Amino acid sequence: MTRLETPADVEVAAVVGAGEMGRGIAAVQALAGREVRLFDVDQEQLSNAMEHVEWSVGKAVEKGQVDEGEQEAALSRLSTADSVADAVSGADFVTEAVVERQAVKESVFEDLDEHAPEGAILATNTSGLNVTKLAETTDRPGLVCGTHWFNPPMLMELVEVIETEHLDPDVGDLMMAYVEAIGKTPIRCRKDVPSFIVNRCFRPYGEAAAWLAYYGEAEKEAVDSAMKYREDFPMGPFELADFTGGIQLRVEGEQDHLEDDRLLAYDTRVCPLLHELYEEGHYGRKSGRGYYDYAEREEPYVPATAGREFDPMRVWAPVINEAAKMVQHDVATVEDVDTGMKLGGNWPVGPFEKADEVGAKTVVRYCVEWSERHDPFNKAMETLPCDLLVETAKAGARFR
């Protein structure tokens, strides 16, 4: 049981991991009035983190988002620690933000559990790893959850709160309230599914496009152009994969997904097109080439007219189906899915808003067409419409 009852009871916070995410998470909490201690095993990174926090808070002052008095007070509340034990001593709430590797995080959680006060809540900032296994490394699984922030934490409004089967329901409620209290918008992932809510919807956004290109049914420029200029997405799926390094992440994470025993674990195979790019060392912008070649320009040139003939529903339908699976399995609410994609993904509308715009019957038809056009799609993307989507279509109902 936690000794904390309200967000105000969280007076001292600790953040372990002082990279880009950790330092941002620390800064937000310090600005919200909490005493925050920041730790990293890399002393140079820890020192750089403090300098970066001062710079980012200063930028917020320049933009009028924070006044100088708040800046001074926040920086006075933020300090560094020499060890995990020092960082979490007396802490009410601890966030882990180390490298995105399950084994490393499990080791960190063992240390946090050993040194954090009894009743302190422990959270991980993982974007999709197994929170349940992290909780099970501790003697306080009912006090362990996920709080997935988006980059950069100072600017992005969304935080996903991820629950496990072990989590004390009161702790889940408290975390939702705490995220609001520090000025962010929480959405609740009620079950520990791979990739949670936002990244789970991003997966079919990219993979539908990849399969279309692999089978020669659409050019990447046409897909990107249609989604960017006609559907108002910030980036098309191929641009996005290059920007995030999604080619590398999908291929390297494939085996983990296959072995994951959580609800809605991926048992799909990654598109061979991604494997081909990966094996050639083409991971996206960071390697100079991915779907697009960045040797001569930083941005891929995608003409606004290139997507005139491409039907965006061929990408939308698998995304909506994946979102409906989450609601069907009580992973998330319709409202939280849509809020997550708009705030965390900067999407123009949420999947269920789009479904209501075109009608569930239309979405079902596109999903069936996906599975019938190419048998591998059925196995690779699980595009057969889920029960909730079919039932909504039959009833002629809306999601929202």
Question: Which amino acids are annotated catalytic?
Answer: 127, 148, 160, 199
DSSP one-letter string for 110-134:
HHHHHHSPTT-EEEE--SSS-HHHH
Q: Which residues contact 118 (CB under 8 A, 6 or more apart)?
A: 140
Q: Do the beta carbons of residue 57 and residue 31 sit within 8 Å? A: yes
Instruction: Give just the sign of the alpha carbon dihedral 150, 151, 153, 155.
Output: negative
Angle between helices 313-328 and 334-344 (to 10 degrees): 130
Q: Do the beta carbons of residue 145 and residue 164 sit within 8 Å? A: yes
Instruction: Give just the sign of the alpha carbon dihedral 364, 333, 29, 21.
Output: negative
The C-alpha atoms of residue 149 and residue 89 are separated, in whole angstroms, by: 24
Structure tokens at 371: 């599975």
Structure tokens at 16: 């372990």
How many other CB atoms are there within 10 angstroms of residue 169's CB atom? 9
CA angle 241, 243, 248 (to 5 degrees): 50
Structure tokens at 20: 């880009």
Write the burial class of residue 324 (CB in 10 Å: 0-12 exposed, 13-18 middle, 19+ buried).
Answer: buried
For the chain, helix, strand, coil in percent to 5 are 50, 10, 40
DSSP one-letter string for 259-280:
H--STT-------HHHHHHHHT
The C-alpha atoms of residue 63 and residue 60 are separated, in whole angstroms, by: 5
